[in-house]
Structure 1
């Protein structure tokens, strides 16, 4: 992003906050690899946080990263400015390193593992997202053990736009949830540590994400789209942060909307407020392609939540007596 575009982004944030009286903004820096541009964003983050705080608005900044880059400067700055990290990880060494290699051909897992532990040791908020596809299905149980041991929040998301072996998906997810069930009995906080796809078992909602409602995606040239997957698509409505007639909320509200493009099955489904028909960009005939898997695992997620609460009650009774 050019410096002038970055400056205009801050101007638009200030304009929108003033006009809409917004009290909180989440800014997620993604890529590519945004930590490769860390020095470029340092000054912006400090300035934006300071200016918006004076306007009564809290700015929460996250880096969506593969975490192959981390140094003392990033650690120190992140601690001082409440920076958060979302880490992409395909699995443990064997399954992560198949696709995520450095230019010299070496896998990246050992570096990611070391950097993850540094973030945790420095009490920097971090979560892990794993996109589940045929290439890493088999490694889900071992990854589950690893993430539970680290005690970090993690999310398993099924890959979009690709066919996944349904039988193997169910098999390895079932094994992973069995591991989580065992961990609950040792005090692991399932409800606060795991999310499956975009499911909302506790929030309940009408749409999958904030896109088109209270959020949007801004490209390096200042273009604002409904979602980052639309970057570069000529047939998608797009605005620009250089547009003087609209603030950011106005651009988001006037963009593409997919919330109501849902099948009749979805409107009648008892889980409609839990899955919200999945990501609207990738729905097939108005529903999430993983509908069958959701019907299998949503009841299990509620069962594990119940087991977790029962364990808490049992522990409380033991303490009380």
Structure 2
């Protein structure tokens, strides 16, 4: 055997050390025998080890710290990447029934359009899915916008037909929605259940005064915080898995604790709160670039926010707070994944929805379409063409960063692990150690 090329080792408190492997995302507290084996593994004869050493070697291999001597990890990584990119067992569609919105958020990257998906386009969307239905095992839908709930009838109409098609063809179905939450009511919740929309993302950008300044209703009503907050409560109480996104920049960072307190006061300690980095993706949101954190800055900010959540009783230890293995980066570099706008135009990336020059085709004219250059750009770009990425020990948890930036030659977009991996893993270790010590103390008190 030999040691993995993707091992990290750091000293932590009390003279202990931890080891992390980015191919498996395994994290272990280690002692000297671990490092001794790593340093001498190519000269060790396994059959001559005692049982304790054999068990340690076995565990190290199971968790990726050791690999077979002739095993090529970089080829496995590339195989994972290509398999994820070109896997055709499922079809993932992000559908925008409209690009219109009832909000005018200060950082929005979209250019709103007063449109909605016509019946003809809905029918052609169903035909588009039918062309895949005999070759896939799963259909995944994300309802998007604009604000998708402005045209609930379109969501319900398409959902009914898609679900029936999947049931007829023994294809599993799942659905998610990204909504500002303002239009959620009991009827909407009932229809979420009926049409298998099991998850939702709603955004709250701070306590009432701050949220209402950033997420503004077009109607002129300056108070939407309470309505959105009540929508989160209603959805959670009805078994909908809600992701509460808090978009963070320099103008609202100081109000996060106040928002966390509001969730605690309302007994919503189980809410899944995560923090989004406000990024000026398009020309529509360039005006707020001065208040945005870059990725290195945000990596530090996110650690502080994670600690706020944990110290207040919220769970914030898994992804995105702890690194996860990536095959391909996101839906934009996956072959059977498309974003579809109200006019039937298809895109690879959410950031480009409505920008027709970036479309890769249209569901209304599939027979006469050629393979577009934009589709080729997303599907052929790979981090393995970059020497910097290929040699990076973080490639398994980064995969080259956001394809939108790479394809459009905007900037290199390494994941935040590049800037805070050691700190986040030490924090994770300390948190679990503290939990263990608290458990041991509580158990001792009981005895």
- The answer to whether the Cα contact below 8 Å between 1:14 and 1:52 also exists between their aligned partners in 2 is no
Structure 1: which 5+ residue stretches go unaligned? none
The Cα shift of 1:263 comes to 5.2
In 2 relative to 1, CA 94–253 (structure 1 residues): closer, same or farther, beyond 3 Å?
Answer: same
Taking the aligned partners of 1:171 and 1:191, their CA distance within structure 2 comes to 16
In 2 relative to 1, CA 265–7 (structure 1 residues): closer, same or farther, beyond 3 Å?
Answer: same
The Cα shift of 1:215 comes to 1.6
Task: Indicate whether 1:38 and 2:152 are aligned.
Answer: yes
Of residues 89, 95, 120 in structure 1, which corresponds to 2:204?
89
Partner of 1:47: 161
Match of 1:17, SS state, is: coil
Partner of 1:231: 353
Taking the aligned partners of 1:42 and 1:234, their CA distance within structure 2 comes to 26
The Cα shift of 1:34 comes to 0.6
- The answer to whether the Cα contact below 8 Å between 1:217 and 1:227 also exists between their aligned partners in 2 is yes
In 2 relative to 1, CA 105–74 (structure 1 residues): closer, same or farther, beyond 3 Å?
Answer: closer
Partner of 1:278: 401
Of residues 403, 424, 439 in structure 2, which corresponds to 1:301?
424
1:51-85, Cα deviation, whole Å (9 max, x unpaired): 21221112212221010111221111112333121
- The answer to whether the Cα contact below 8 Å between 2:359 and 2:374 also exists between their aligned partners in 1 is no
Match of 2:420, SS state, is: helix
1:195-242, Cα deviation, whole Å (9 max, x unpaired): 25xxx713x124321213142211111111111322344553511112
Partner of 2:331: 210
Taking the aligned partners of 2:297 and 2:257, their CA distance within structure 1 comes to 12
- The answer to whether the Cα contact below 8 Å between 1:141 and 1:175 also exists between their aligned partners in 2 is no
In 2 relative to 1, CA 165–227 (structure 1 residues): closer, same or farther, beyond 3 Å?
Answer: closer
Partner of 1:7: 123
Of residues 195, 199, 207 in structure 1, which corresponds to 2:320?
195
Question: TM-score if structure 1 supplies the norm length?
Answer: 0.80
In 2 relative to 1, CA 229–276 (structure 1 residues): closer, same or farther, beyond 3 Å?
Answer: same
Task: Indicate whether 1:266 and 2:389 are aligned.
Answer: yes
Question: TM-score if structure 2 supplies the norm length?
Answer: 0.60
Match of 1:191, SS state, is: coil
Q: Which has the higher contact order (CA 8 A, sep 6+)?
A: 2
Structure 2: which 5+ residue stretches go unaligned? 1-116, 281-288
- The answer to whether the Cα contact below 8 Å between 1:181 and 1:304 also exists between their aligned partners in 2 is no
In 2 relative to 1, CA 205–175 (structure 1 residues): closer, same or farther, beyond 3 Å?
Answer: closer
Match of 2:364, SS state, is: coil
Aligned length: 307
The Cα shift of 1:172 comes to 4.5
In 2 relative to 1, CA 73–232 (structure 1 residues): closer, same or farther, beyond 3 Å?
Answer: closer
Structure label with greater radius of gyration: 2
Taking the aligned partners of 2:220 and 2:154, their CA distance within structure 1 comes to 26
Task: Indicate whether 1:178 and 2:315 are aligned.
Answer: no
Taking the aligned partners of 1:252 and 1:201, their CA distance within structure 2 comes to 32
- The answer to whether the Cα contact below 8 Å between 1:8 and 1:242 also exists between their aligned partners in 2 is yes
- The answer to whether the Cα contact below 8 Å between 2:348 and 2:375 also exists between their aligned partners in 1 is no
In 2 relative to 1, CA 307–64 (structure 1 residues): closer, same or farther, beyond 3 Å?
Answer: same
Match of 2:304, SS state, is: helix
- The answer to whether the Cα contact below 8 Å between 1:82 and 1:124 also exists between their aligned partners in 2 is no
Match of 1:56, SS state, is: coil
The Cα shift of 1:15 comes to 1.6
